[in-house]
Amino acid sequence: MSSRSLITIQRLHKVYFLGATKVHALRGLNLEIKRNEYVAIMGPSGSGKSTLMNIIGCLDVPTDGNYWLNDQDVSSLNDDELAHIRNKEIGFVFQTFNLLPRATALHNVELPLVYNGTTAKDRKVHAASALEIVGLADRMDHRPNELSGGQRQRVAIARALVNKPSIILADEPTGNLDSKTGVEIMEIFADLHGQGNTIILVTHERDIALHAQRIIHIKDGFVEKIETVS
Amino acid sequence: MGEYFRLAVDALRTNRLRSILTIAGIFVAVTTIIIILTCIESLNNYVETEFSEIGSSTIYINKFPWVITDNFFEYRNRPAIKLREYEALKEDNTYTRFVSPLAVYERQISYKNEVVDGVSIIGVNRHYAEIGGISADHGRWFTEHEVDSRRYVCVLGASVVEALFRNADPLGKRIKIDGFPYRVIGVLEKRGTSFGFDQDRQIIVPYTAMRNFAYSWRGIQVAMLPERPEDAEAMKEEARGILRTVRKVRPGDKDNFAINQQDMLLDFYKQATGGLYLVLLVIAGVSLVVGGIGIMNIMLVSVTERTKEIGIRKAVGATRKSILRQILSETLLISSIGGILGMIAGVLVGWLILNWAFSLSAQVTPSIVLVGYGFSALVGLVSGMYPAYRAANLHPIEALRYE
Ligand SMILES: Nc1ncnc2c1ncn2[C@@H]1O[C@H](COP(=O)(O)OP(=O)(O)OP(=O)(O)O)[C@@H](O)[C@H]1O
Ligand SMILES: [Mg+2]
């Protein structure tokens, strides 16, 4: 365990129980990610990328093994403590955006702030500036169904940013977008990395993965190889 | 807190019809409860006020108890109360302040050409004014001398004055009761109706001036007021002893007379109506439970529909507690709207019922309103608990994956 690392993962196992059958999604995976790194995760479908991201994002807990985030042993926390970490340390960007359909862009971005006690006034200010960072200052009052796919993903990125988390996690953020829009989204991630954010991104496309500093190849639930992008 | 309220309002708005139907369930239940409570409270209040006119420490000695719950025929063979028993009670008592005979008969009365039937003629002594809490507000009450010397004087109730004299002053006039002339010396303070009876349709005369026609076998009553209210029990025991002696009742035998008091009537009223009220409240309670089940049902559907939303909220940091609060705020809002509207409707309808059916003014006490609101809020919380618990315990990933 290195205290320098933002994320330290050791011998991580995740087993899903489907009735009588067990699905071994992660099999003793080890991983270290430093602060302000930009890491891409690649691997075949079903190799355990999303499972790993969900555990890193504290949306799920490992069956076995250890996970330290900021030197805190996250694998031992309870539901509400995990909720607290998700709120404070994690910004998650999903492939399917996962925005509240009836809420405006501004309100969607405010959402993490609702759960850390920020006052309504400050929420508006922070959410507005996050939307500005992703270039959506003029779309604050639009609902998700009034926005394009790329714009929706930007709203989701603004939501991930708004609490100034330690890590931004993105599970196939361009998976539902055309390649041109995908490039725009990748530019935002590049900017965010430039501003000092730590970014972990899952993708199937090598072009996109090449934006990162390191590419972690996963196969059958463990790290196959780590590639450094020059 | 404001955030949760806003969320709840939003949720209700999104499913307008569904919200309205759910609210209606609670509304009907609370309306029913408030109507029932208002009616019970008002009737109880009315009855207690009316009974209190009897005076809580005054006792009445009668042949029959006021309330007979067992076999009436057991009492039928008792001797009537006689004047000599009144005299005995008047002689040797220590706890009694005032004693008066009370002889009541219905007779025909007339003045010149005006004839009125069925007027209560009440024969008493001078002290009945204090015992019965009545007084003449025009003219005067009769004196001890007038009683002792059997003067044919009378004090008229307001309705009698109206029937015989219209607007003329009755003082000094001679009316006829059962053919005998009586001089009017006073008019009683107006008392209105009690349980539908006109309390002003009566004439009070010295009991000694009644003997001409009041020797009837029905006998009289005796009214007694204790020295102090706390002497009522002692006075009762003393009167019982005196009567048993006068009537030569053997030790061990039952009394052959009844000592009546206001609280007997109240007790009887409470006993007779308590069960009914309870049944009414249980029915209302059941409708509230049904309303609650309605909320629970709707909230379970609503939680299922919003699984994804809950997943999103959890993913960005909502704790179990905040999800619980969100769902409970919603059920609380539903039940509060239903509760508040139900309270208003209940008070209005209760007021109308009381006014029309019983000509009573409605008593709306804060406790009724609190009970009404409290119950609806409670139902909201209880019925929201399970759906909220289900929502709070959703796994974030599974919730996010829900379509
Ligand atoms: N909730 C679940 N219950 C049962 N099995 C699951 C569950 N989630 C994932 N799995 C299984 O775990 C394995 C890893 O799944 P995971 O979603 O992590 O793959 P992935 O690498 O993200 O694939 P993709 O590239 O298709 O998104 C798969 O075999 C999958 O079927
Ligand atoms: Mg995946």
Pairwise CA distance, residues B201 & B181, whole Å: 18
Q: Is B59 contained in some domain?
A: no
The answer to whether the Cα torsion of B86, B89, B92, B97 is positive or negative is: negative
How confident is the model at residue A2, as a pLDDT? 45
Instruction: Clarify whether residues B8 and B97 are in a common domain.
Output: no
Q: What is the dihedral of CA A82, A87, A90, A94, to 10 degrees?
A: 100
**Rounded distance between C-alpha atoms, residue B129 and residue A15, angstroms:** 94
Residues B44 and B134 in one domain: no
pLDDT in tens, A29-59: 999 999 999 999 999 999 999 999 999 999 9
Does residue B62 lie in a domain region? no
Per-state percent for chain A, helix, strand, coil, to nearest 5 = 35, 30, 35
State the ipTM, two decimals. Answer: 0.95
Cβ neighbours for A68, distance < 8 A, ≥ 6 positions apart: A1, A5, A7, A8, A9, A74
pTM across the whole model: 0.75
Q: For the residues of B137-157, what is the DSSP string, one character each? A: EEE-PPPHHHHHTT--EEEE-
Boundaries of domain holding B300 = 2-50+266-401
Measure CB to CB from residue B319 to each of A54, A83, A111 and give the nearest one: A83
Q: Are residues B320 and B352 in the same domain?
A: yes
pLDDT at B361: 75
Assess if residue B57 is contained within a domain: no
How many domains is chain B built from? 2
Residue A1 has pLDDT above 50, yes or no: no
- Chain B closest CA to A94's CA: distance in Å? 10
Residue whose C-alpha is closest to residue A155's, from A168, A140, A170? A140
| pLDDT score of A219 more than 90 | yes
Domain boundary among B256, B278, B300: B256
End-to-end CA distance of chain B: 29
Is the same domain home to B272 and B238? no
* B90 lies in the same domain as B180: yes
- B279 and B246 in a single domain? The answer is no
Are B92 and B233 in a shared domain? yes
B110 and B229 housed in the same domain: yes
**Full set of structural domains in chain A with CATH:** 5-228 (3.40.50.300)
The domain boundary, picked from B256, B290, B318, lies at B256
Q: Do both B248 and B279 map to the same domain?
A: no
User: Do B160 and B229 reside in the same domain of the chain?
Assistant: yes
Q: How much is the pLDDT for B214?
A: 52
What is the distance, to the nearest Å, from the Cα of residue B362 to the centroid of all Cα atoms in its chain? 11
Low-confidence ranges of chain B (pLDDT < 50): none
**A48 and chain B in contact, CB less than 8 A:** no
Higher-pLDDT residue of B285 and A110 is: A110
Residues of B in contact with A97 (CB under 8 A): none
Pocket of ligand 1 (CB under 6 A): A 16, 18, 23, 25, 43, 45-51
Q: Kindly identify which residue of chain B lies nearest to residue A90, measuring between CA atoms.
A: B316
Q: Quick check: A164 contacting B, CB < 8 Å?
A: no
**What does the pLDDT average to over A131-158?**
95
Domain end residue (candidates: B194, B222, B256)? B256
Residues B217 and B92 in one domain: yes
Q: Residue A84: closest CA among chain B residues belongs to which residue?
A: B317
Q: What is the pLDDT of residue B213?
A: 58
Q: Is residue B63 part of a domain?
A: no
Helix/strand/coil percent split, chain B, to 5: 55, 20, 25
Whether residue B196 is found in the same domain as residue B297: no
φ, ψ for residue B259, nearest 5 deg: -110, 115
Asked whether residue B28 is domain-assigned, the answer is yes
